[in-house]
Amino acid sequence: MPELPEVETVKQAITPVLAGQRISHVRVTRKDLRWPLPENLADKLQGRICDTPYRRAKYILIPLEGEQTLLLHLGMSGAIRLYDSQPEFGKHDHFSIAVETGKWCVFSDPRRFGHIDLIANHQLNAHKLLSHLGPEPFSNHLSPGWLVKQLTGRKTTIKAALMDQRLIAGLGNIYVCEALFKAGISPRSLAHNIGQKRAERLIPAIQDILSKAIASGGTSLRDHVQPGGEIGYFVQQLNVYGRAGQACVDCETKIQMITQTGRSSFFCPHCQR
C-alpha cells in the first residue's frame, strides 16, 4: 500500500532488525510475484549478513555481504510485518527471513504486484526498475527552475507528470493529489503551463506533504512494531484524497473526483487553479 512515505516507514522499521545481522532462515513460497524471483533465492540469502537498508523511490534495498543487494518492492498491496519469533504464516506471506536474534521479517502481498530481486551491486544503476528513476523528492536537484525546465514541452497534465517516476521518484496517486491541493494547482493544469510561481509552491508542497506523512507513519508505527504487529499504512490528514463530495477544508466547496490517465484525481475546484 505503498507510496514513498509508507516505504520509508517500513524501511525505518526493518532497519534495527536487519542491519548487521546474519540471515538464519529464509522462507520462499512462490517462484514469482509480478516477475519470476531469482532462482534458488532462499539458498542465495541463507547465512548472508545484511548491511543497513535504504530506500530509493518506492523500493527498499538491503545491501548484503558479498556485493549484492536485495530489492523489495511492495507493489499495490504489499506489506512487511515484524515478529520477535517465528509466526504462523498466512496465505499471502510469500517471502520471509529470520536473523540470528530470532526475529522474523515477513513480506505479504495479496495481489502479487510486488517484486523481489537480488542484484549485483555494480549492476544496480542499470537495473530495469532503478535506471530510469528521477531524483528523490528531497534531492538538492529539485528547484523551481529545474522543475519548470523539466515540464517544458510536456503536453500532459501536471497530475500525470508527477505520477511519472522519471520526473520525480516516489510519488503516487495519494500524495500527488495532496501536494497539488496544498500548492493550489489543479490536476488538470497542463504541465508546460506550470511557471516559476506555481513551481515555487509545488516543490515545498510535495516535500511538506511527504515529510508529514513520514512523520505520522512513524508515530503510528511505534505502537505497531510489536510481536505479530503490522507495519502498514495509516490514513490520516488527507485533505482531498478519497473525499469526493465532502467539503473542502479551506473553502467548503465540494471536493471533486475525476479520472485522469486511468487514475482517480481528487481536488477542490475553487482552491486549485
Partner DNA sequence: CTTTCGTCCTGACTGC
Partner DNA sequence: TGCAGTCAGGACGAAA
In angstroms, the Cα distances linking 114 to 32, 71, 76, 163, 233 are 10, 10, 7, 18, 16
| CA 30 – CA 249 distance, rounded (Å) | 45
58: annotated active-site residue: yes
Q: x/- binding map, residues 9-38, to DNA, per CB under 7 A?
A: -------------------------x----
Choosing from 34, 56, 188, 263, which is the catalytic residue? Answer: 263
Choosing from 55, 58, 81, 198, which is the catalytic residue? Answer: 58
Residues whose CB falls within 8 Å of the CB of residue 103, separated by 6 or more in sequence, listed in order: 17, 82, 83, 84, 85
3: annotated active-site residue: yes
Nearer to DNA, 76 or 251 (CB): 76
**Contacting residue, 39, 67, 140, 155, with DNA by CB under 7 A:** 155
Nearer to DNA, 91 or 222 (CB): 91
Nearer to DNA, 47 or 195 (CB): 195
**Contacting residue, 24, 42, 51, 75, with DNA by CB under 7 A:** 75
CA–chain centroid gap for 132, Å, is 16
Q: Considering only residues 46-65, where is the footprint of DNA by CB under 7 A?
A: 57-59
Q: Are 87 and 40 in contact (CB under 8 A)?
A: no
Work out how close the CB of 193 gets to DNA at its nearest, in angstroms, rounded to a whole number: 12
DSSP 50: B
Q: Considering only residues 166-225, where is the footprint of DNA by CB under 7 A?
A: 172-174, 191
From start to end of the chain, where are the E strands?
23-28, 54-56, 59-64, 68-73, 79-83, 93-99, 104-108, 115-120, 256-260, 263-267
Q: Which residues are catalytic?
A: 2-3, 58, 263
Residues at the interface with DNA (CB under 7 A): 1-3, 6, 34, 57-59, 73, 75-77, 91-92, 110-113, 128-129, 132, 153-157, 160-161, 163, 165, 172-174, 191, 233, 235, 261-264
